[in-house]
Amino acid sequence: MYNSSDEQTHSQRLRNEKIRLLYGNIWQPVCAGILGAALLVFLMWEMADTTVLVSWLIAILLVYGLRIIIAVYFLRSSSAEQRHPRWLRMFVLAVLLTGCIWGAGGVLMFDGNQPEQTAALAIVLAGVAAGCVTMLSAIWWLVLFFILPIAIPLQLLFIFSNAPTHTIIGILLGLFVLLLIATSHRLGRLIHNNIELNLTMAAREAQLLESENRYLSIFKHSPLGVLHFNQQGCVTDCNEKLLEMLALDRSKLLGLCILNCEHAGIKTATQNALNRGAGYYEGTFSVLYVPNSSEGTPVRAFFNGVHSVDDEIVGGVVIIEDFTERKRNEEVIYRQAYYDALTDLPNRRLLIERLATLCDDSQIEKQGGLLMFLDMDRFKLINDTWGHATGDDLLVQVARRLEGCLCEGDIVARLSGDEFVLLGLFEECSEQVLEAHAEAYMRAVQQALSPPYRLANREVEVTPSIGYTCFTVAACDHEEVLKQADLAMYRAKTEGRARLCRFQPWMREAMH
């Protein structure tokens, strides 16, 4: 649908195309007109005054020459200059002048007393008039400016002639003119529709090209990865950004079938795009079946089906967002929230969450657990004497030694200062066996922490005070377990350095 401004622009473009068509085809009516004029002079040479014939021929040649000159100027003009209204006015005046000269020739050469002369004159002029119909019908009313100056004088001469047959010829000539006008109008409509169709197709092609160029620009320069696949799920194209994300060569990716991907999520998203028109996947994206492909890139991918003109899905396009930086930031935030910045051990929050999970009533598997609190003896003295850097160095060395004591599933955390907590797990066993395992575990920890530490270029002995408690997973209160181990460690500190103390119920009463 066009609005008023668009309709005006569209009409202007149609008119401009018609004018270009008229000037572009000027050679045909000019050549036909010159041949017709020469033929008429030849036929009338013995019947009419030679001076009149020569003068008329010169006049008609001058008019056709003028039309050629105007056409040459038009065709050499720029597109902007060709849109000026003066070109149509000049064409109309040139056509009218040509028609008037042909009409004048008919008047000058008409002789009612010579049937052969009038017959030849009528045939030639009728042929010239008919020939202009196809040449001028781009703007159909131009035919009137050519036909009427020729036909009206000749028709009047025939009608008012004394010969009875001339009157009939005059009437038939009038009908012939009406037929030519009707034919011109019909041809003009056909030409108009054809030009309009061509303009519409050209506009749509321009829009399509613009759309393709816009998409290609987005495809090539998008900060997101773009991948195309066909109805069989095979990759047909991708942009450079995607190759950069996946660290792959184009030759290794093109032609591969996503439906054979080992990632169930990617395969499902592709099938959803082909069957339902849309799919989604978030996770690690890698082409595992390609040799030497990257281990995977964290991505978020939107799968969309591509529809044909029959609204059938014939393929799809995937928009892929690289989540590497986001995942890295999430990991940094997670480590800041759950890990100690100095020792890189889990902090209090992660320890409590892990312990709370183990003590959850929904736990089915029952295990024995050991929770020990460790406090490094003389740490405050070392920190105050040799500085915080030396104290930090000691804490890092302790953390590494504790990590070396861990079994699978165990966790060691730094709470604050020189306080560490180690959580060990054992298979379900009796209380006596659990106690024995715990005793052996703590002796191993105590032995790992007892050797001297290299601090400030010297060997320094620092022993731990350890308090511990044993518990049964899924049948405990994690807060109570922490309190028991804390009380046991406090008792070990009061008994002296390098002590190992198990929680006993009376310790709680002793604190009050």
Q: Which of 144, 176, 204 is the last residue of a domain?
A: 204
Lowest mean pLDDT among 15-29, 211-225, 351-365: 351-365
Q: How many angstroms separate the CA atoms of 502 and 302, rounded?
A: 57
Percent of the chain with pLDDT over 90: 26
Q: Is the pLDDT of residue 369 over 90?
A: no
Residues 96 and 26 reside in one and the same domain: yes
Residues 154 and 272 reside in one and the same domain: no
Q: How many angstroms separate the CA atoms of 446 and 461, rounded?
A: 13
> Would 213 be classed as within a structural domain?
no
CA angle 404, 407, 409 (to 5 degrees): 125
- SS3 label, residue 440: helix
Q: How many angstroms separate the CA atoms of 422 and 442, rounded?
A: 10
Q: Is the pLDDT of residue 248 over 80?
A: yes
> Would 24 be classed as within a structural domain?
yes
Residue 125's pLDDT is 86
Residues 276 and 174 reside in one and the same domain: no
Residue 420's pLDDT is 95
Residue 511's pLDDT is 62
Residues 252 and 147 reside in one and the same domain: no
Residue 1's pLDDT is 45
* Continuous segment of H or E residues that includes residue 3: none
In the predicted model, what is the mean pLDDT of residues 480-488? 91
Q: How many angstroms separate the CA atoms of 128 and 58, rounded?
A: 18
Q: Which domain, by its residues, includes 474? A: 339-511
Residues 235 and 369 reside in one and the same domain: no
CA 415 vs CA 48, 153, 353: distances in Å: 128, 118, 13
Residue 131's pLDDT is 82
Residue 303's pLDDT is 93
Where does the pLDDT of residue 62 fall: very low under 50, low under 70, confident under 90, or very high at 90 and above?
Answer: very high
Q: How many residues does the chain have?
A: 512
Where does the pLDDT of residue 171 fall: very low under 50, low under 70, confident under 90, or very high at 90 and above?
Answer: confident
Report CA Rg, the chain.
Answer: 51
In the predicted model, what is the mean pLDDT of residues 381-393? 90
Q: Which of 160, 178, 204 is the last residue of a domain?
A: 204
Give the list of residues 6+ apart from residue 66 with CB closer than 8 angstroms, or none.
94, 97
Q: Cβ(137)–Cβ(184) under 8 Å?
A: yes
Record the tokens describing residue 112, joined without a space. 């009612």
- φ/ψ bin of 355: left (φ > 0), alpha (ψ from -120 to 50), beta (otherwise): alpha
Q: Cβ(98)–Cβ(126) under 8 Å?
A: no
Residues 274 and 345 reside in one and the same domain: no
Percent of the chain as helix, strand, coil, to the nearest 5: 60, 15, 20
Per-residue pLDDT tens for 421-445? 999 988 766 778 888 888 889 889 9
> Would 322 be classed as within a structural domain?
yes
Q: How many angstroms separate the CA atoms of 85 and 340, rounded?
A: 83
The HSE-up count of residue 64 (CA atoms within 13 Å, CB side) is 20
Q: How many angstroms separate the CA atoms of 279 and 260, rounded?
A: 16
- SS3 label, residue 225: strand
Residue with tokens 């690289």: 322
The HSE-up count of residue 455 (CA atoms within 13 Å, CB side) is 23
Q: Is the pLDDT of residue 411 over 90?
A: yes
Q: Which residue has the higher pLDDT, 144 or 359?
A: 144
- SS3 label, residue 390: helix
Residues 161 and 242 reside in one and the same domain: no
Q: How many angstroms separate the CA atoms of 151 and 171, rounded?
A: 11
Q: Is the pLDDT of residue 148 over 80?
A: yes
In the predicted model, what is the mean pLDDT of residues 74-78? 89
Q: How many angstroms separate the CA atoms of 1 and 241, rounded?
A: 40
DSSP 161-194: SSSHHHHHHHHHHHHHHHHHHHHHHHHHHHHHHH
Helices 115-136 and 142-159, axial angle in degrees (round to 10) = 160
Residues 271 and 178 reside in one and the same domain: no
> Would 323 be classed as within a structural domain?
yes
Q: Which residue has the higher pLDDT, 161 or 243?
A: 243
Q: Which residue has the higher pLDDT, 6 or 132?
A: 132
Per-residue pLDDT tens for 180-209? 888 888 988 898 888 888 888 888 888 888
Tally of domains in the chain: 3
Lowest mean pLDDT among 31-35, 98-102, 194-198, 505-509: 505-509
Q: Is the pLDDT of residue 402 over 90?
A: yes
In the predicted model, what is the mean pLDDT of residues 223-249? 89
Residue 510's pLDDT is 66
Residue 290's pLDDT is 47
Q: Is the pLDDT of residue 380 over 80?
A: yes
Residues 93 and 230 reside in one and the same domain: no
The one-character DSSP state at 407 is P
Give the list of residues 6+ apart from residue 100 with CB closer than 8 angstroms, or none.
149
Q: Cβ(40)–Cβ(105) under 8 Å?
A: yes
The one-character DSSP state at 463 is P
In the predicted model, what is the mean pLDDT of residues 137-164? 84
> Would 480 be classed as within a structural domain?
yes
Residues 348 and 435 reside in one and the same domain: yes
CATH number at residue 295: 3.30.450.20
Phi and psi dihedrals of 240, rounded to 5? -65, -30
Residues 118 and 253 reside in one and the same domain: no
> Would 396 be classed as within a structural domain?
yes
Q: Which of 148, 174, 204 is the last residue of a domain?
A: 204
> Looking at this protein, which amino acid is placed at residue 203?
A
Where does the pLDDT of residue 328 fall: very low under 50, low under 70, confident under 90, or very high at 90 and above?
Answer: confident
Where does the pLDDT of residue 362 fall: very low under 50, low under 70, confident under 90, or very high at 90 and above?
Answer: low
Q: Is the pLDDT of residue 56 over 80?
A: yes
> Would 209 be classed as within a structural domain?
no
CATH number at residue 390: 3.30.70.270
> Would 409 be classed as within a structural domain?
yes
Per-residue pLDDT tens for 262-307? 778 888 999 999 999 999 998 887 654 444 444 667 888 999 999 8
Record the tokens describing residue 51, joined without a space. 């001076």
User: What does pLDDT average to over the chain?
Assistant: 85
Give 369's strand partners: 425, 471
Residues 351 and 444 reside in one and the same domain: yes
CA 143 vs CA 37, 69, 71, 106, 321: distances in Å: 19, 21, 18, 18, 65
